[in-house]
């Protein structure tokens, strides 16, 4: 399965493309649609085309992670898990309590609402932006609603 155009728009709504590198909440140098890597530092400046190309080049790795889940997913569920994977990493998705519940027939309501996991690098304060994102992923996964609440 592949992420849908609506799923791409959902993820990009949270990433807010920035063409000049910045340090994210965890202090990681980031550019474009939330891209990170050894090639991004304080001097990185991209064009919109470069940011879009980098995003599209990375899509496959996050789709691959979601496709390793062993249960049948709807498109909306796939897109919600794609967003989680894009934000947290494919390995984080596959080793998450979230996927364990999905694969083992656990209660699917509120899966993304694991409040203790919406902190950045063990911070004591809950990240409001990350909490908002997890709630939107939960809404997409359980209700098929791509609307991103402000």
Distance CA 43, CA 31 (A): 10
Q: Which residue has the higher pLDDT, 77 or 130?
A: 77
113 within a domain of the structure (yes/no): yes
101 within a domain of the structure (yes/no): yes
The whole-number pLDDT of residue 109 equals 62
3 within a domain of the structure (yes/no): no
The whole-number average pLDDT for the span 111-140 is 68
How high is the mean pLDDT of the chain?
Answer: 86
Predicted confidence (pLDDT) at residue 118 exceeds the cutoff of 70 = no
The whole-number average pLDDT for the span 131-140 is 86
> pTM (2 decimals)?
0.86
Listed residue (145, 6, 141) closest to 78, CA to CA: 141
CATH number of the domain to which 119 belongs: 1.10.530.40
């Amino acid at each position: 399965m592949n992420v849908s155009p609506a799923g791409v728009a959902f993820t990009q709504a949270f990433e807010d493309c920035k063409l000049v590198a910045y340090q994210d909440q965890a202090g990681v140098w980031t550019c474009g649609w939330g891209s990170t890597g050894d090639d991004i530092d304080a001097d990185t400046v991209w064009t919109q085309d470069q940011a879009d190309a980098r995003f599209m080049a990375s899509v496959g790795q996050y789709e691959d992670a979601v496709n390793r889940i062993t249960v049948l997913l709807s498109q909306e569920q796939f897109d919600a898990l794609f967003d989680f994977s894009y934000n947290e990493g494919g390995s984080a998705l596959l080793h998450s309590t979230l996927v364990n519940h999905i694969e083992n027939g656990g209660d699917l309501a509120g899966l993304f609402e694991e409040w203790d996991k919406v902190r950045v690098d063990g911070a004591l304060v809950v990240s409001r932006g990350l909490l908002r994102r997890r709630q939107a992923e939960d809404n997409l996964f359980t209700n098929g609603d791509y609307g991103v609440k402000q």
